[in-house]
Amino acid sequence: MRMLSGLLILLAPLAAEPKAARAPWLLFPIDVRRFDHVSSKFGLRRLEGHRKLHRGVDLVAPAGSYVVAAREGTIAESGHARSCGWYVTVAHENSWRTVYCHLRSDPRKLGVVQGLAVPAMGVVGLVGSTGHSTGPHLHFSVLDDQGRPRDPLLALYTPKETLEVLRKMGMAR
Ligand SMILES: [Zn+2]
């Protein structure tokens, strides 16, 4: 018994800081046929000489490509913010949220309004470059149940995996 409790004490600090592992549960949030590349990953990046936390991932696709809900949920926010531009936030069942920024136009004009239930792959907007943006792309953020930003690439299925999931769901051929 003594030995066992000693081991538990030794293991506790390791358990307290789990290494971030990839565990996909979100479908790729733009039309996979139009997606080009990741232009900026999550984390600290240099911006005009200082380091700034990039709270999401930048996914490049032509302007007008469909932006889709990464998983079913409810529209929690739909509107405009200075840096995000036109954007939508989707609240999911596990209390995590996904955020879709720089949309081409007011998502409310597409009927994407607060309180609306959206299915996985439901269109929430179109790729644009509104807000602080240098070209058409989707800035996609994942917020945990405490509102903390998490690395979206750990949560997202790749475009290829997304297609496989959609085929299994009968949503792609
Ligand atoms: Zn970004």
* pLDDT per position as a tens digit, 51-99: 889 999 999 999 999 999 999 999 999 999 999 999 999 999 999 999 9
Query: Residue 118 Cα, ligand 1 centroid: separation in angstroms?
Result: 23
Total domains, the chain: 1
C-alpha 6 – ligand 1 centre gap (Å): 45
* 12 found inside a domain: no
Token digits of residue 24: 């996909």
pLDDT < 70: residue spans in the chain: 1-19, 47
pLDDT of residue 66: 97
Contact residues for 79 (Cβ-Cβ < 8 A; gap 6+): 86, 87, 106, 107, 108
Residue 71 inside a domain? The answer is: yes
**Which residues fall inside 5 Å of ion ligand 1, going by CB?**
58, 139
What was the pLDDT predicted at 167? 93
pLDDT score at 9: 55
- Provide the domain limits for residue 75: 20-168
Bridge partners of 133, per DSSP, are none
Ligand 1 centroid vs 97 CA: distance in angstroms? 16
142 CA distance to ligand 1 middle (Å): 12
